A and B are shown apart, each in its own frame.
Chain A
Amino acid sequence: MLNDGVKAYLRALAALKDKDYRTGVGYLKIAQNQFDNSPDFRILKETTELLLAVKEEIFELEVENSEVKELI
């Protein structure tokens, strides 16, 4: 049987392939204990988390921009 960590990693990869980064990072967190010693895994997880943070920041700036435009 595949253990839950491996299953979570697979599901994370499938989600990342579909650009569903939020789901992907959720599964990567579940898989963390299993793969924590793997540098590749850590890079994948940290890059995904960074990407989500960037997307959030972009969203906030865009909202801010549109509010400024409305004021002008």
Chain B
Amino acid sequence: MTARLESLKRLESVLENFLGRAVELEINNLNTVSRIDSLDEIARLSLKGRLVNQQLGNWFARNRDYLDSDRLKETEVETIANLLSEIKKGLDSSDPESRKLADEIERWKEKGVVPKRKLILKMKSPAGGMSITEKFADYLGREKVLLEQEEYSQEHLLSILDDILKSAEAKEDHIYIHLAGSIIYFLRMNGYKVSPYVKRLKQIEKERLGIAYAE
């Protein structure tokens, strides 16, 4: 029995060493992707309309050296840029702390760490450059991406609407208002009672866009 135990312990040691080396090979990759993973978590929270100032500030503080280094690969840069771009859309420009974080994102962009990259290239030029039809198509495309989030895959459209309305309340980006309106209209067409949601949306429009309706 002792010989068997010894053999098993040797095997255990061999397997642990093997796994240790295999993981070590992945470790740089792991560190990088862990950073991206934590930024991804922040972006997800932001998409839900949560305040992410503190998490984002901490993320920048923890990853300053990494962002300053030349070690970033093009794909990493692109992923980080896209996530920061998503997060930035959700920052409230009326809040000084959020403005500071938005400036921080801009600063990385200017330094080329979040380079003159796809973050900018992917976005069409604002207002002047897009026709109203292109703007509408752009909204529809972005709305589709929002709705295809993993967390919505099992949700009823009413729950999604509730979440989108929360985002519309919290975020500067007007896309949430448009998407909420679109979902409300679709639900109404399908016989759902939508008046509480309409009321919420009207209130948000009033606060965010300055549009008021006669009661």
Contact = CB atoms under 8 A, between A and B. Distances in A.
A64 B4 CA distance: 12
The dominant DSSP class at the B interface is helix
B149 interface: yes
B154 to A, nearest CB: 13
A40 to B, nearest CB: 8
Nearest to B148: A1
A1 B44 contact: yes
B19 interface: yes
Given A55-B12, A58-B12, A61-B4, A4 B22 contact: no
A2 B5 contact: no
Interface string B4-20: 11001101100110110
The dominant DSSP class at the A interface is helix
B37 A57 contact: no
Given A17-B30, A19-B16, A51-B19, A58 B37 contact: no
B95 to A, nearest CB: 25
A23 to B, nearest CB: 13
Nearest to B12: A54
B30 A62 contact: no
A12 B30 CA distance: 10
A4 B150 contact: yes
B36 interface: yes
A58 B5 contact: yes
Interface string A1-23: 11110110010011011010100
Interface residues of A, number: 29
Interface residues of B, number: 27
Given A2-B36, A7-B37, A10-B37, A48 B8 contact: no
Contacts of B5: 58, 61-62, 65
B8 A54 contact: yes
B214 interface: no
Contacts of B16: 19, 51
B19 to A, nearest CB: 6
A57 B8 contact: yes
B19 A1 contact: no
B15 A51 contact: yes
Interface string B44-80: 1000000000000000000000000000000000000
A61 B9 CA distance: 11
Interface of B: 1-2, 4-5, 8-9, 11-12, 15-16, 18-19, 22-23, 26-27, 30, 33-34, 36-37, 40, 43-44, 83, 149-150
Interface of A: 1-4, 6-7, 10, 13-14, 16-17, 19, 21, 40, 43-44, 47-48, 50-51, 54-55, 57-58, 61-62, 64-65, 68
